């Protein structure tokens, strides 16, 4: 049970970081209490902005002793509400935004060590300055921070080749709920000495500890890319194209994104982007090869056209054109905002089942609410589709959004039937917590609750997130 912090407790917290970094006025706190989609607007008596691991540790010691709830926040781009305090007004926000140091880059061992508040973009740039690649790449990369990326086990567009945030991390420093610091900043690629503690904190969404530093994996920077925007007749054809591209590219396929025609329509209309192809097609694929054998993309496309997996394609002739293709992909979510309400589902199914999933989910949603517009796009290569449904034309936005849970029920039934996940990338946070009993076995939940009790016996770390009561 957490307790409403007294004025004395608040003063003790503030003393750790200094008054300047203990924000209490409503205007100063506003940006920390509201998230990107405006689904959650929280309340808090205090936002703390520590600058060192030691300060985080002192804050947690006080929180543990006084039973005060702490909500860790990094870049506040999370899409499951985990970084926003509840409306009770008792929870304190601990922002990592001042802990932004790139502690070191070691090109010879291909590692980079950063504080948890370093933005993803800053990490990418520090890697590039050392002629290396940090391959995690999200549309939110200018704002999201490494601590948040690891805590949500973020995915993005290059998972196909490099894996998700979990796969890109070698070591962590974590402050535990009682204020102890676990120094797990390993640089090792091989270490089979007991349980994997690091992986417990990755994807835990701030419920088991606060990540303060991380050792990240780097890769050689690709010297060349071949990028194509491809018209495909159907998701099934896109899947065949995916297999073909993998076979013919020597495993150099680094991204394979599926986009519906509606996505091009929205970005053209609202964001002013130019279509890469003159041909209008029901579906498109944005595919990229990194360091391919020269002209591999041309061979893939020639064969795909002959086999009917593709009907048209444009290959980027310059870096600018490559960027133009990616801009379309990056603007999809934004463009949807101009079309009224959108009910989102960040789902995954086994890759080969994506076409069947799309057909069945579309039919189920159409039965549930005729006239919905399907903006299903995403990382086909990972079986991860952002199955976003735009409201029927002319419908009241509020009335549509009131159907959020009911439509989730309809879509998740199809997801689960295909052995999929109802949260492929964005986590559980607050948004999907009530579904944990539906998707996890009693044994799995028992282990999760056991870990939580062990690491956070007073339930002060992000209470009411991820785990069901
Ligand atoms: C435009 C846009 C595009 C996006 N695209 C993608 C995408 O392609 N793939 C994807 O996976 N996600 C995507 N996201 C979601 C989001 O950017 C990611 O979840 C990101 O990893 C969150 O990082 P953050 O720093 O903003 O974390 P926050 O939002 O601040 O926090 C997220 C969660 O992590 C916890 N947390 C934060 N920092 C710490 C810490 N140091 N220690 C412990 N817990 C912590 C918080 O309590 C919260 O539960 C997108 C979001 C937007 C707005």
**What pLDDT digit, counting tens, does each position of 138-168 carry?**
989 999 999 999 999 999 889 999 999 999 9
Question: Above 90 in pLDDT, residue 83?
Answer: yes
List all residues whose CB is within 6 A of at least one atom of ligand 1: 36, 71-79, 82-83, 96, 116, 138-140, 144-145, 147-149, 151-152, 154-156, 205-206, 210-211, 333, 425-426, 429, 462
Share of the chain above pLDDT 90, in %: 95
For the cut 70, the answer to whether the pLDDT of residue 28 exceeds it is yes
The average pLDDT across 92-106 equals 98
Q: Is the pLDDT of residue 37 over 90?
A: no
> Atom 18, ligand 1: which residue's CA is nearest?
78
- What is the spatial distance between Cα 5 and Cα 12, in angstroms, rounded to a whole number? 10
Give the closest residue (by CA) to ligand 1 atom 7.
156
Q: Whose CA is nearest to atom 33 of ligand 1?
A: 205
Atom index in ligand 1 nearest the CA of residue 205 equals 49
Strand duo 373-379 + 169-175: pairing: unpaired
Q: Which helix (H) or strand (E) holds 72?
A: strand 70-73
Atom of ligand 1 nearest to the CA of 141: 17
DSSP line for 392-440: PTT--HHHHHTTHHHHHHHHHHHHHHTT-BS-SSS--TTTTGGGHHHHS
pLDDT confidence of residue 3? 87
Q: Say if residue 59's pLDDT is above 90.
A: yes
Scanning 250-318, the segments in alpha helix (DSSP H) are 261-271, 296-307
Coil, helix or strand at residue 329: helix
Containing 372, the helix (H) or strand (E) segment is none
CB 169 within 8 A of CB 217: yes
Residue nearest to atom 20 of ligand 1 (CA): 149
Pocket probe for ligand 1: among 42, 63, 73, the residue whose CB has the most ligand atoms within 8 Å is 73
pLDDT of residue 410 exceeding 70, the answer is yes
Q: Residues 210, 173: contact at Cβ < 8 Å?
A: no
**More reliable by pLDDT, 217 or 39:** 217
Work out which ligand 1 atom sits closest to the CA atom of 425. Answer: 11
- Of 106-120, 307-321, 329-343, 357-371, least confident by mean pLDDT is 329-343
Given a cut of 90, whether residue 2 has pLDDT beyond it is no
Ligand 1 centre and the CA of 149: distance in Å?
A: 5
Cβ contact 144:121 at 8 Å: no
Report the chain's mean pLDDT, rounded to a whole number: 96
Per-residue pLDDT reduced to its tens digit, 252-302: 999 999 999 999 999 999 999 999 999 999 999 999 999 988 889 999 999
To test the pocket of ligand 1, the residue of 42, 50, 77, 382 to mutate (highest count of ligand atoms within 8 Å of its CB) is: 77
| Packing angle, helices 354-368 and 404-417, rounded to 10 | 150
DSSP codes of every residue in 160-220:
HHH--GGGGEEEEEEE-TTS-EEEE----S---SS--HHHHHTTSTTSS-EEEEEEEE-EE
Q: What is the pLDDT of residues 415-434, one digit of tens each?
A: 999 999 999 999 999 999 99
Q: Which ligand 1 atom minimizes the distance to the CA of 72?
A: 47
255 φ, ψ (degrees, to nearest 5) = -150, 145
| Average pLDDT of the segment spanning 75-81 | 97
Nearest-5° Cα angle at 241, 237 to 242: 115
Q: Provide mean pLDDT across the span 194-211.
A: 97
Residue with tokens 């209309």: 269
Could you give the CA distance from residue 274 to residue 331 in angstroms, rounded to a whole number?
12
Percent of the chain surpassing pLDDT 70: 100
**Can you tell me the mean pLDDT for 47-54?**
98
Please enumerate in sequence order all residues whose Cβ is within 8 A of that of 406, keeping only pairs 6 or more positions apart, or say none. 368
pLDDT at 275: 94
Which band of pLDDT confidence, cut at 50, 70 and 90, is reported for residue 1?
low
What's the rounded Cα separation, in Å, for the pair 384 and 449? 28
Q: Read off the pLDDT of each residue in 42-65 and give the average, rounded to a whole number.
A: 98
Read off the pLDDT of each residue in 215-232 and give the average, rounded to a whole number: 96
The answer for 457, left when phi > 0, alpha when psi is -120 to 50, beta otherwise, is alpha
Angle formed by the axes of helices 319-330 and 261-271, nearest 10°? 100
DSSP state of 32: G
**Gap from CA of 427 to ligand 1 centroid (Å):** 9
- Would you place residue 216 in the very low, low, confident or very high pLDDT band (cuts 50, 70, 90)? very high
- Which string of b and e fits 163-200 if b means at least 16 CB within 10 Å? bbbeebbbbbbbbbbbbebbebbeeeeeeeeeeeebee
User: Could you tell me which of 206, 233, 204, 241 has the C-alpha nearest to residue 91?
Assistant: 206
Q: Is 123 helix (H, G, I), strand (E, B) or coil?
A: helix
């Amino acid at each position: 049970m957490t307790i409403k912090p007294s004025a004395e407790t608040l003063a003790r917290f503030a003393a750790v970081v200094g008054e300047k970094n203990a924000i209490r006025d409503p205007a100063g706190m506003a940006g920390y209490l509201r998230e990107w989609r405006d689904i959650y607007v929280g309340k808090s008596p205090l936002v703390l902005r520590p600058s060192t691991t030691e300060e985080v540790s002192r804050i947690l010691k006080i929180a543990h002793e006084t039973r005060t709830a702490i909500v860790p926040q990094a870049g506040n781009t999370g899409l499951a509400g985990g970084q926003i305090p509840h409306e009770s007004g008792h929870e304190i926000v601990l922002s990592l935004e001042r802990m932004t140091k790139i502690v070191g880059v070691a090109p010879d061992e291909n590692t980079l060590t950063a504080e948890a508040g370093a933005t993803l973009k800053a990490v990418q740039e520090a890697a590039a300055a050392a002629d290396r690649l940090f391959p995690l790449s999200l549309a939110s990369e200018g704002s999201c921070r490494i601590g948040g990326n690891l805590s949500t086990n973020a995915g993005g567009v290059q998972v196909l080749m490099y894996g998700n945030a979990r796969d890109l991390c070698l070591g962590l420093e974590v402050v535990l709920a009682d204020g102890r610091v676990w120094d797990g900043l390993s640089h090792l690629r091989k270490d089979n000495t007991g349980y994997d503690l690091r992986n417990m904190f990755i994807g835990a969404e701030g419920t088991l500890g606060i990540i303060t530093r991380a050792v990240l994996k780097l890769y050689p920077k690709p010297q060349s890319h071949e990028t194509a925007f491809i018209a495909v007749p159907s998701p099934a054809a896109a899947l065949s194209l995916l297999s073909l591209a993998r076979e013919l590219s020597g495993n150099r396929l680094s991204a394979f994104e599926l986009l519906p025609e509606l996505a091009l329509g929205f970005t053209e209309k609202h964001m002013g982007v130019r279509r890469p192809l003159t041909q209008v097609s029901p579906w498109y694929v944005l595919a990229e090869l990194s360091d391919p054998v020269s002209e591999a993309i041309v061979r893939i496309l020639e064969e795909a056209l002959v086999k009917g997996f593709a009907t048209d394609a444009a290959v980027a002739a310059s870096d600018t054109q490559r960027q133009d293709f990616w801009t379309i992909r990056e603007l999809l979510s934004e463009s949807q905002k101009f079309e009224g309400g959108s009910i989102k589902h960040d789902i995954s199914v086994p890759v080969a089942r994506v076409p069947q999933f799309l057909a069945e989910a579309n039919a189920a949603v159409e039965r549930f609410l005729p006239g919905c517009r399907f903006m299903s796009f995403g990382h086909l290569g990972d079986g991860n589709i952002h199955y976003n449904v735009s409201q029927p034309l002319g419908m009241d936005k509020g009335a549509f959004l009131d159907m959020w849970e009911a439509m989730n029920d309809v879509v998740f039934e199809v997801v689960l039937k295909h052995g999929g996940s109802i949260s492929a990338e964005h986590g559980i946070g607050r948004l999907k917590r009530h579904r944990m009993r539906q998707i996890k076995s009693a044994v799995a939940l028992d282990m999760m609750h056991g870990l939580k009790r062990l690491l956070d016996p007073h339930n002060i770390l992000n209470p009411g997130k991820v785990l069901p009561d």
